[in-house]
Amino acid sequence: MVSKLDNTSSVGDRPTTAPAAPTIAPGSVGTVETCYLDLPHPVRLDCGRELRPVRVAYETYGALSPRRDNVIMVCHALSGDAHAAGFSKAPADHGTRDGFGAEDRDGAAGPGLGWWDGMIGPGKAFDTDRYFIISTNLLGGCRGTTGPSSPDPATDRPYGSDFPVITVADMVRTQRAFLDELGIKRLAAVAGGSLGGMQAFEWAILYPDQIGAVIAIASTHALHPQGMAWNAIARDAIMRDPAWQGGHYYGTGQTPEAGMGVARMIGHVTYLSAPALRDKFGRRLQFADDIRYTITEPEFEVESYLRHQADSFVKRFDANTYLYTSRALTYFDLARQYGRGSLARALNGVSARTLLIAFSSDWLYPPSGSREIEDALRTVGKRAELHVIDAPYGHDCFLLEEARQTPIIRHFFEEGP
């Protein structure tokens, strides 16, 4: 187990933020290393099972204050990981910034750049000159935290589909147990986009006295039926691939890459908007001046782009993790879980200030969901503010519109507790 934190940005003898190289751009946290912590106690899950052992992968940025009161937990979305900012000391061949326009956005930075690098660092929205930022890979993950690809202590083989079904609340309880081992009792804020925002809401409800603020971006209180339907199709694509083998494909020499690729293409389209696809691709042909009358090969740029997304994703992500995380997304429903059908009742115990940011073109997590949360919070006398940013890129806006989110978040922090 990694030792508890001191009042610096290092953990034990392993610094998570190395000195910045001379070529590092201003505002970067520099070169970072992912660390790991083994929880000493089992995690009790909503499904009724206990999970043990549990390892958590994490990174930290900035310095912990002597009073340990400047901690922000940043939570990632479905396909993210603990590497949220800076340049990885040991970059993978394929990073998590492989979304819409990633190559144009990142240039020569490559796969070593953190998935929310534009938001975390000195002077950025989550200012490491002021705050100590923690990012963990969520429970069920495949980037260092215990998940379906981890060894099952009962068999010494990967869990596969024997891994217990998990919920967003289980992810948050794991984060709470992780912070206990670091000696951190209270968070100044929990922030995240998409599934990350869902985790922030769970924090506010499960641990109302341990969190000062919620920043939920492009998120919701419950995925709407259309989103649930697309998630179901993506999961089905994986499970119908014969190489899935009932979830026990590890060590067989086969992985469900075909089904996983289709799932990624489905998911990626839901993250975009019709105007974004039209503006970037239109109906332009990929390889020729005229159609080639082929079924098996991509004819259009948009088809080639989706295949590229699929090919990149299957090389870095585990299909079972996709299944389990997608299922957790569909289970998430604050009104059902905590309010007997009433969102206002579910949020009645929240004490944290809440900042909601939504995007006009996001049809997967539409602004209407954020408005419902704002209305419910205000109904029960809680502090909440909503900003809807007019932007064309769909759900991916929370990763692309960093410059427009930053002043909103900075002003929210400046207003104080």
Q: Which of 362, 370, 387, 396 is catalytic?
A: 362
Name the token pair of 141.
């993950």
Alpha-carbon span 95 to 82, nearest angstrom:
11
Q: Which of 194, 219, 361, 370 is catalytic?
A: 194
Annotated active-site residue 219? The verdict is no
Amino acid at 159: Y
The residues near 167 (Cβ < 8 Å, ≥ 6 apart) are 45, 46, 47, 328, 331, 332
Alpha-carbon span 122 to 336, nearest angstrom:
40
Alpha-carbon span 210 to 370, nearest angstrom:
23
Report phi then psi at 228, rounded to 5: -60, -40
Name the token pair of 92.
């993978």
- 32 within 8 A of 61, measured Cβ to Cβ: yes
Alpha-carbon span 301 to 299, nearest angstrom:
7
Q: Provide the 8-state DSSP code for 209.
A: G
Strands (E), 277-342: none
Element (H, E) at 60: strand 55-61
Annotated active-site residue 362? The verdict is yes
Annotated active-site residue 194? The verdict is yes
> Quick check: helix, strand or coil at residue 47?
coil
Alpha-carbon span 73 to 70, nearest angstrom:
10
- 2 within 8 A of 57, measured Cβ to Cβ: no
User: Which residues, listed in sequence order, are joined to residue 132 by a DSSP beta bridge?
Assistant: 71
Query: What's the distance, CA 69 to chain centroid?
Result: 24
Amino acid at 239: M
Q: Which of 149, 219, 395, 396 is catalytic?
A: 395
Q: Within 13 A of 99's CA, how many CA atoms are on the CB side?
A: 24
Q: Which of 224, 216, 220, 219 has its CA nearest to residue 384?
A: 216
Alpha-carbon span 409 to 417, nearest angstrom:
13
Which residue numbers are catalytic?
194, 362, 395
